[in-house]
C-alpha cells in the first residue's frame, strides 16, 4: 500500500515505511525477493513492525517461495498483514517455522505448498463464487465472444495438438469450465478423460451433458487445482484453457508435474499480461474477471522450467486484435488470417514483441520429481 494511504488511516509519518513503491508487481521482481530475504537475515527488525499493508495480498501470495518466508517471520513476531479485504494473522494459522533463517536455499517443491491457508482459501472461495455466477449468467461469455473470434488459429493449434496425442491416453482437463474439451478428447480415442473445476455449477452441467450423450469415459469433479486428489503419475496428457492465470503458479506447476507421467505432456492456452492496451481494457472491465487473476508474465513461463525439463511457448494475437471492429464484415476471416501471418512474422524476426501478444500456448513435458 502507498504510504499516503497508511497516513490517511491514522499512522504517523515516522511510523510508515515503504518496502517497495512498485505496487502490483513487487511479487514478480527480484527486488521483492531480495528485500524479504534481507529481512529474514535481520530477523529482529520485524519485531518492530505491527502490521504490513499491501495491495491485494492474495495476489502476492502467488509467489510462494518468497511470500512463505515473510509469513514465517510474521508468525514468529506476531506481525499482522492487511489489505483492503481483510486483516490476516499468520501466527493464528501456522506455527512459526524454523527454516526462515535459511532463506537463501528454500526447498523448491516444499515451498510450493506453503501459502497461508486463510489467504489461499479466501482466494479460492472468491474464484468459485465468481465462476458459479458467471456460468449461471452467460452475459460474460456474450461480451467476450467478440474478442474470441480472433483466436481461431491458436485454438486450432491447441485442438490439433490434443487430437494427435490423446488416443489411448488418460487425460486430465485442468479447469474444465463449460467449454470443455473432454468430449472432443473422448471422440478422438482417449482412454479416459477427467475434468476438474472449482465451480460446482460447471461440474454439474458438464456431468449432465456427459450422461445425456452417453460418455461413460468422461467424468467431471469439483476439485482444488492446487491440491489435487490424484495419485502421482496418473495422466498421460493434461490440458487447460485460461486456468493457470487464476492459480498460485508454484502450487499449480508442482501439482501438474506430480500427476503427469514421465513421458506425458501438458498444454495450456493462457492470456499474457505485458500489453499496456490490453491491460487498460482489463482495468476498465473488472466485472469480466476475478480480482485474483493474473495474466502471465515472461517470469511465469520461466518459472515452469523449475518443474519441467521442457517448456515451449507459442505466442499469438498481437496485430490481429485490430480485426475485432470488423467482426461482422465479409472479409473478417481473411483479415484475421492475414494479421495472424503478420504476427508470426513479427514474432519470428522481432522476438521482443512476443511478450505483447494477447495469448500464449504453453507446452510442458519432462516433469521434474
Q: Are 166 and 189 in contact (CB under 8 A)?
A: yes
196-227 residue pLDDT tens: 999 999 999 999 999 999 999 999 999 999 99
Quick one: 305 and 202 in the same domain?
Answer: yes
Domain containing 13: what range?
3-114
Within a domain: 119: no
Q: 114, 141, 175: which is the final residue of a domain?
A: 114
Helix axes 200-213, 117-136, angle to 10 degrees: 50
Q: Give residues with Cβ within 8 angstroms of 270, minimum separation 6.
A: 242, 243, 244, 245, 295, 296, 359, 360, 362
Q: Environment class of residue 168 by beta-carbon count within 10 Å: exposed (0-12), middle (13-18) or buried (19+)?
A: exposed
pLDDT surpassing 70 at residue 282: yes
Quick one: 92 and 146 in the same domain?
Answer: no
Q: How many domains does the chain have?
A: 2
Within a domain: 135: yes
Within a domain: 138: yes
Q: Are 361 and 155 in contact (CB under 8 A)?
A: no
Quick one: 75 and 107 in the same domain?
Answer: yes
Q: 84, 114, 144: which is the final residue of a domain?
A: 114
Quick one: 140 and 249 in the same domain?
Answer: yes
* Greatest mean pLDDT range, 108-122, 141-155, 189-203: 189-203
Within a domain: 122: no
pLDDT score, position 231: 97
Within a domain: 167: yes
pTM comes to: 0.71
Please name every residue paired with 144 in a beta bridge, in sequence order, or none if there are none.
none
* Average pLDDT of the segment spanning 249-255: 95
pLDDT surpassing 80 at residue 277: yes
- Of 193, 310, 313, nearest to 263 by C-alpha is 310
Quick one: 285 and 342 in the same domain?
Answer: yes
φ and ψ of 229, to 5 deg: -90, 0
pLDDT score, position 289: 84
pLDDT band, residue 21 (cuts 50/70/90):
very low
User: CATH number, domain at 238?
Assistant: 3.40.50.150
pLDDT band, residue 114 (cuts 50/70/90):
very low
Residue predicted with more confidence, 5 or 101: 5
149-182 residue pLDDT tens: 788 899 999 999 999 999 999 999 999 998 899 9
Q: Across the chain, what does the average pLDDT equal? A: 80
Amino acid at each position: 500500500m502507498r504510504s499516503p494511504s497508511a497516513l490517511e488511516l491514522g499512522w504517523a509519518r515516522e511510523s510508515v515505511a515503504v518496502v517497495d513503491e512498485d505496487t502490483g508487481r513487487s511479487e514478480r521482481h527480484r527486488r521483492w525477493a531480495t528485500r524479504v530475504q534481507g529481512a529474514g537475515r535481520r530477523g529482529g527488525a520485524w519485531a518492530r513492525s505491527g502490521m504490513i499493508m499491501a495491495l491485494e495480498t492474495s495476489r502476492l501470495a502467488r509467489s510462494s517461495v518468497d511470500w512463505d518466508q515473510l509469513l514465517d517471520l510474521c508468525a514468529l513476531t506476531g506481525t499482522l498483514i492487511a489489505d483492503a479485504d481483510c486483516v490476516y494473522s499468520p501466527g493464528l494459522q501456522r506455527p512459526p517455522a524454523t527454516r526462515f533463517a535459511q532463506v537463501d536455499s528454500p526447498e523448491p517443491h516444499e515451498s510450493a505448498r506453503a501459502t497461508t491457508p486463510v489467504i489461499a482459501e479466501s482466494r479460492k472461495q472468491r474464484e468459485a463464487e465468481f465462476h458459479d455466477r458467471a456460468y449461471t449468467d452467460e452475459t460474460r461469455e456474450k461480451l467476450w465472444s467478440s474478442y474470441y473470434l480472433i483466436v481461431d488459429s491458436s485454438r486450432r493449434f491447441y485442438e490439433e495438438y490434443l487430437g494427435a496425442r490423446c488416443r489411448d491416453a488418460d487425460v486430465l482437463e485442468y479447469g474444465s469450465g463449460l467449454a470443455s474439451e473432454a468430449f472432443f478428447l473422448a471422440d478422438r480415442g482417449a482412454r479416459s478423460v477427467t475434468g476438474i473445476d472449482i465451480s460446482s455449477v460447471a461440474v454439474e452441467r458438464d456431468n449432465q451433458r456427459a450422461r445425456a450423450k452417453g460418455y461413460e469415459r468422461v467424468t467431471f469433479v469439483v476439485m482444488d487445482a492446487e491440491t489435487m486428489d490424484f495419485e502421482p503419475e496418473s495422466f498421460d496428457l493434461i490440458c487447460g484453457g485460461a486456468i493457470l492465470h487464476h492459480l498460485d503458479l508454484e502450487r499449480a506447476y508442482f501439482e501438474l508435474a506430480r500427476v503427469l507421467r514421465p513421458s506425458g505432456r501438458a498444454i495450456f492456452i493462457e492470456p499474457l499480461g505485458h500489453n499496456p492496451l490490453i491491460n487498460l481494457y482489463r482495468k476498465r472491465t473488472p466485472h469480466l474477471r476475478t480480482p485474483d487473476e493474473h495474466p502471465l508474465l515472461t517470469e511465469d513461463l520461466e518459472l515452469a522450467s523449475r518443474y519441467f525439463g521442457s517448456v515451449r511457448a507459442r505466442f499469438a494475437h498481437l496485430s490481429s486484435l485490430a480485426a475485432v471492429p470488423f467482426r461482422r464484415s465479409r472479409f473478417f476471416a481473411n483479415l484475421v488470417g492475414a494479421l495472424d501471418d503478420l504476427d508470426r512474422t513479427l514474432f519470428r524476426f522481432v522476438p521482443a514483441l512476443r511478450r505483447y501478444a494477447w495469448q500464449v500456448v504453453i507446452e510442458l513435458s519432462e516433469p521434474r520429481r
